[in-house]
Amino acid sequence: MADNSWGRMLGCVLCLCAGVVALSAMAGRSVATAADKPDQSLSTFMRMKLEASSRILEGLTTEDAAAIKEGADALMKMSNAERWNVLADEDYREFNRDFRSSVRKLHVAAENGNFDNATLQWIDTVKACVECHKYVRTQRPTIKN
């Protein structure tokens, strides 16, 4: 994707920040780990990523390393769960690897208290969210619910 599109997208992401931070304040402190609830719908499971993302954003904006790590841990755990693998092809696995690699770097940056780097890793993570979803949309008929 061209750089200027990412610029526009980053603008959108930043606009969303305020809302997400407000939501996270309402949602309380703990991030549920959706991986523990195999009976919920795929949609409910996938939407838990928003809660973890909101916790990470809260951590980045308030320089709270523990919050970032908590959200990153929840995303890592989810992306390891059986439910996550709604597609089994090599491309999907590669999108997942990229995503997990960014989340891992985000966690390390938070561990080191490097919030600038953590912010950059979060942007990479969000790009990985978007890229995987673009791919998933092209594969939609093959998705199991």
Binding site for ligand HEC (CB under 6 A): 42-43, 46-47, 49-50, 53, 75, 86, 92, 95-96, 99, 125, 128-129, 132-133, 136, 140, 143
Least distance in angstroms from the C-beta of 46 to ligand HEC: 3
| Cα→Cα distances 35→31, 40, 77, 101, Å | 12, 10, 7, 19
Least distance in angstroms from the C-beta of 5 to ligand HEC: 18
Least distance in angstroms from the C-beta of 2 to ligand HEC: 21
114 vs 136, beta carbon nearer ligand HEC: 136
Give the DSSP per-residue string, 112-128.
Answer: TT-HHHHHHHHHHHHHH
Structure tokens at 83: 């439910």
C-beta separation of 20 from 53 below 8 A: yes
C-beta separation of 110 from 69 below 8 A: yes
C-beta separation of 53 from 109 below 8 A: no
Least distance in angstroms from the C-beta of 75 to ligand HEC: 6
CA–CA gap between residue 82 and residue 38 (Å, rounded): 9
5 vs 140, beta carbon nearer ligand HEC: 140
63 vs 89, beta carbon nearer ligand HEC: 89
Least distance in angstroms from the C-beta of 125 to ligand HEC: 6
Which of helix, strand or coil describes residue 34?
helix
